[in-house]
């Protein structure tokens, strides 16, 4: 079977791999759609992410969907939760499996991911995709889960003013969820005009180009002078972090969702202290697939239009090049 492996930074190779053999608690999944995430680009560009570095050929891909090919659920289309928690450690028992001390995550470290024709995966982490959703929608349930988790961490309330700094797919999903949560104002920033236009289409009330040197002042002015009630940094960019801290009003919350390229996030201690800000970091997601599926099926969140590029597996070089250029919104590889 065909698998796409990262062998070193900037080098992907399509190889023939042996068929995986599912364990007793696993199902064989025929992979059909894989989204290219910003964290996949970290692996591709840097040969690692955070404190995890490439030490063997790695199959990337953690946003994916497919069809079960074995067992009682054979033929069922499923979205794959890429985070396999142990279920028995302290954090799992506390209901926080994203902090599991023994967690395996697809396309990360020692665990191969979804850019392979087939994968064996624990059955309890496979969620049926309703007929109303296509397989690319199923892959998009993972970034939607991250957005749901980030919004839950922020404890959004009706009538809040919200800042979303970085309008890639997760930022745009946060915009949609903020609108659903009853935010009275959603201010969004990005460096790319087409992403700012998408943010407006998804519910942002005002957008600003992050390249504008006066962007922080413009956001404070647009939000009444003091700043927004909660800021989501979703760019993995130091300038977006600075804007988040500079444009929240005192006593509020900054949620850091983006992953910085150098494994370091810096902020002004005096700004954070004087405002007595709550700084909340977002670690992937937890228990979000049922809610994500309901939001997508009901049409309350639009996943379909976020997928702006679809490539076959053989065109992986073009797919990753398009993702690196930030063409469109979400690039999906279809197998």
Two tokens at 56?
């063997």
For the chain, what is the mean pLDDT?
97
Residue at 72 is within a domain: yes
Q: Both 21 and 123 in a single domain?
A: yes
> Does residue 115 sit in the same domain as residue 6?
yes
Query: With contact defined as beta carbons under 8 Å apart, do 54 and 6 qualify?
Result: yes
- For helices 38-46 and 316-324, what crossing angle results, to 10°? 100
- Residue 256 belongs to a domain with what CATH number? 3.40.50.720
How far apart CA 15 and CA 75 sit, in angstroms, is 26
19 with 129, same domain: the answer is: yes
Confidence of residue 152 (pLDDT cuts 50, 70, 90): very high
- The CATH number linked to 330 is 3.90.180.10
DSSP per-residue string spanning 260-299: -TTS-----HHHHHHHT-EEEE--S-SS-HHHHHHHHHHT
If you average pLDDT over residues 290-319, what whole number do you get? 98
Residue partners of 2: CB distance under 8 A and separation at least 6: 14, 15, 16, 17, 116, 117, 313, 335
Cα–Cα distance for residue pair 231/251, rounded to 1 Å: 12
Render pLDDT for 169-202 as a digit per residue (tens, 0 to 9).
999 999 999 999 999 999 999 999 999 999 999 9
Asked whether residue 91 falls in the same domain as residue 172, the answer is: no
CB 330 within 8 A of CB 307: yes
Which tokens sit at 321? 């090049």
Residue 37 lies in a domain: yes
Domain span holding position 23? 2-133+303-334
Note whether 163 and 247 are within 8 A (CB).
yes
Residue found by looking up tokens 């970085």 in the block: 166
- Record the pTM: 0.97
DSSP code of residue 108 = B
Residues 333 and 33 sit within 8 Å (Cβ to Cβ):
yes
Residues 123 and 153 in one domain: no
Residues 272, 316: one domain?
no
Is residue 319 domain-resident?
yes
**pLDDT at position 51 over 90:** no
SS3 of residue 86 by DSSP: coil
> To 10 degrees, what angle do helices 238-246 and 215-222 make?
40
Residues 272, 320, single domain; the answer is no
| Structural domain contains residue 255 | yes
The answer to the question of residue 129 being in a domain is yes
Does residue 290 form part of some domain? no
**253 and 224 together in one domain:** yes
Q: 120 and 155, same structural domain?
A: no
Residue 139 belongs to some domain of the structure = no
Is residue 56 domain-resident? yes
Decide if pLDDT at 117 tops 90.
yes
Residue 40 has a pLDDT of 96
157 and 266 within one domain:
yes
Confidence tier at 119 by pLDDT (50, 70, 90): very high
Q: Are residues 270 and 195 in the same domain?
A: yes
In this prediction, residue 50 carries a pLDDT of 86
- Residue 254's pLDDT band (cuts 50, 70, 90): very high
- At 5-47, the pLDDT tens digits run 999 999 999 999 999 999 999 999 999 999 999 999 999 999 9
Residues 80, 50 share a domain: yes
> Total domain count for the chain?
2
For residues 1 and 50, is the Cβ–Cβ distance under 8 A?
no
């Amino acid at each position: 079977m065909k698998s796409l492996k990262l062998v070193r930074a900037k080098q992907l190779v399509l190889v023939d791999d042996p068929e995986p053999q599912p364990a007793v608690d696993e199902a064989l999944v025929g992979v059909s759609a894989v989204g290219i995430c910003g964290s996949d680009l970290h692996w591709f560009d840097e040969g690692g992410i955070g404190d995890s570095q490439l030490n063997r050929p790695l199959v990337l891909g953690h946003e994916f969907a497919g069809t079960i090919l074995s067992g009682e659920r054979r033929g069922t289309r499923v979205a794959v939760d890429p985070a396999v928690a142990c279920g028995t450690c302290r954090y799992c028992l506390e209901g926080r499996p994203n902090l599991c001390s023994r967690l395996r995550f697809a396309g990360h470290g020692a665990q191969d991911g979804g850019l392979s024709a087939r994968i064996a995966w624990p059955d309890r982490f496979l969620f049926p995709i309703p007929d109303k959703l296509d397989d690319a929608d199923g892959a998009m349930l993972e970034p939607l889960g991250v957005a749901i988790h980030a919004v839950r961490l922020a404890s959004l309330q009706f009538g809040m003013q919200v800042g979303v700094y970085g309008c890639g797919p997760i930022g745009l999903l946060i915009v949609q969820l903020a609108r659903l949560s009853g935010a009275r104002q959603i201010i969004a920033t990005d460096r790319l005009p087409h992403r700012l236009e998408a943010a407006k289409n998804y519910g942002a009330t005002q957008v600003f180009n992050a390249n504008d040197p006066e962007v922080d002042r413009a956001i404070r002015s647009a939000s009444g002078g003091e700043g927004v009630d909660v800021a989501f940094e979703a760019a993995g960019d130091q300038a977006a972090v600075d804007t988040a801290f500079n444009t929240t009003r005192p006593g509020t919350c900054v949620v850091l969702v983006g992953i910085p390229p150098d494994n370091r996030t810096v902020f002004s201690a005096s700004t954070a202290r004087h405002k007595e800000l709550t700084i909340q970091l977002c670690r992937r997601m937890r228990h979000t697939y049922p809610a994500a599926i309901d939001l997508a099926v009901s049409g309350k969140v639009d996943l379909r239009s976020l997928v702006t590029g679809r490539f076959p597996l053989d065109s992986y070089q073009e797919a990753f090049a398009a993702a690196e250029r930030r063409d469109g919104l979400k690039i999906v590889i279809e197998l």
